[in-house]
Amino acid sequence: MKKSLVSGLVAATLLAGGFSAAVSAHQAGDIIVRAGAVVVAPNESSQDVAGFGEFKVDNDTQLGLNFGYMLTDNIGVELLAATPFSHDISLDGVGKIAETKHLPPTLVAQYYFGSAQSKLRPYIGAGVNFTNFFDNDFTNDLNGALSDLSLSNSWGLAAQVGLDYQVNKNWLVNASVWYAQISTDVKFNLGDTPVMIETDIDPWVYMVSVGYTF
């Protein structure tokens, strides 16, 4: 039993290490590119919408990309990008009334714990988010009562925690969680009356990815 267990651990270690005796990762000057699934889960709140309560915004999953650069062995910068997110907007008692798309590029400064030789590198980051809303459309205009939907772009703070595991010299796997402040003015016409609803999206963003270090 002990021999089998030891043999299994040795084999797993060799596979994880890419049959390399030494793995050096996250060094000053490294470029890290990660790609994977990213989920935006809004934590929304808004002003009351014509007596129907607050806007509700659903989750969406897209291809996430981030690009990092190590300034030192422990300090890096990272840009989060993704394919466009699409969200359904709904109201209580009405259901889905609109759709919107957005791109939320986010730039953060990061601190990586541990040394450049550590295969497991937890990190934290803080920075700024810019969110561009587009393709805003009513899918249910309440028999012509709603028209001319628009959402203003947003600037806000962002924070993250993450974990890299270096599989071999170049490849790694990653998991990270982000929080972003996203606020927008939702504008539309209710009949002939212009309406503006202040809305906070403030999503949690979850990403699981594979990365490559250059």
Q: What is the pLDDT of residues 10-33, one digit of tens each?
A: 444 444 444 344 556 689 999 999
pTM: 0.84
Whether the per-residue pLDDT at 4 is higher than 60: the answer is no
Q: Give the residue among 201, 202, 190 at the shortest CA–CA distance from 49.
A: 190
- 204 token code pair: 């949690």
Only one residue has tokens 């040795």, namely: 10
What mean pLDDT do residues 74-87 have?
97
Q: Give the residue among 56, 53, 51 at the shortest CA–CA distance from 99.
A: 56
With the C-alpha atoms ordered 74, 79, 81, 87, is the resulting torsion angle positive or negative? positive
Whether the per-residue pLDDT at 48 is higher than 80: the answer is yes
Q: Given this structure, which CATH class describes domain 22-213?
A: mainly beta
With the C-alpha atoms ordered 162, 166, 167, 172, is the resulting torsion angle positive or negative? positive
129 close to 170: Cβ distance less than 8 angstroms:
no
